Amino acid sequence: MTTSTTSLTLNNGVDIPALGFGVFQTPPEQTVEAVETALRIGYRHIDTAAAYFNEREVGEAIRRSGLRRNDLFLETKVWINDYGYEETLHAFQKAVGKLGVDHLDLLILHQPLPSAFERTIAAYRALERLQADGRVRAIGVSNFMPEHLDRLLASVSVVPAVNQIEVHPYFRQSELLAVDARHGILSQAWSPIGGITFYFGGDGTSTLDDPVIARVARAHGRTPAQVMLRWHLQQGRSAIPKSTRPERIAENFDVFDFELTDAELSAIDGLDQGVRRGPDPDSITLANYGREIPEA
């Protein structure tokens, strides 16, 4: 018997599949096939974003799958250019139009945008409206640090259901995980197997080659990637792995029938280097990261 389940319950009672399939940096021309493959393998949670510029292709894959809308958990993100109350309401319309659906399961703000936080608050209030109207089942944030959460929670009514953040064995973000837990916010890991350690800001080391993770993987007859995903799930996090290779997509989903020991979990925790590989959320401004999100 394993200690993690295939789904988690958000703070508003909505169930979310613990393991999602991500399409960050997946070119549009590869997205349809990758998502179709994921759905065929068994994923029922798809994570995309306006700023990935592949929502339309995600929607096409969903249509081709033949699955009923209510059998899927669909998550996307509002980009900073569309922050503001009316702007974010319109961003929702753009997203559902591209995805070809009438509602979203989870809609989150992609970055805190502290340089214009009044727009962030207005955007989040639009998310609250969308949830109240039943057009979105749950709302949340991404890349929000403790100080950003404090500022947000002081101004809004609905506690975010999810905070999607960089978490992998080399950057555990233990303080932020604790803050999320204290507020009843589910931590959702992007780059959960540490892909960012070898494609952005790497220092020559990779989580996939880490000897501790390799030792744990050998003990269970699993791959390092499967061990890292299992680490997230057993510690109560949602995880969003990504790949365009069918064998990797399948491998990443095959993580529900083994269990890491407490000692193994602690050993992986101990790999934390405290070094962020992704951009500092405070560095994300309209001046240097602004990008218009097209209507269709």
- Which residues are annotated as catalytic? 52
Which of 247, 246, 206 shows the shortest CA–CA distance to 228? 206
Which of 263, 256, 206, 202 shows the shortest CA–CA distance to 233? 256
Please state, in angstroms and rounded to a whole number, the distance separating the CA atoms of residues 195 and 224: 12
Please state, in angstroms and rounded to a whole number, the distance separating the CA atoms of residues 219 and 216: 5
What residue has token string 């097209």? 294
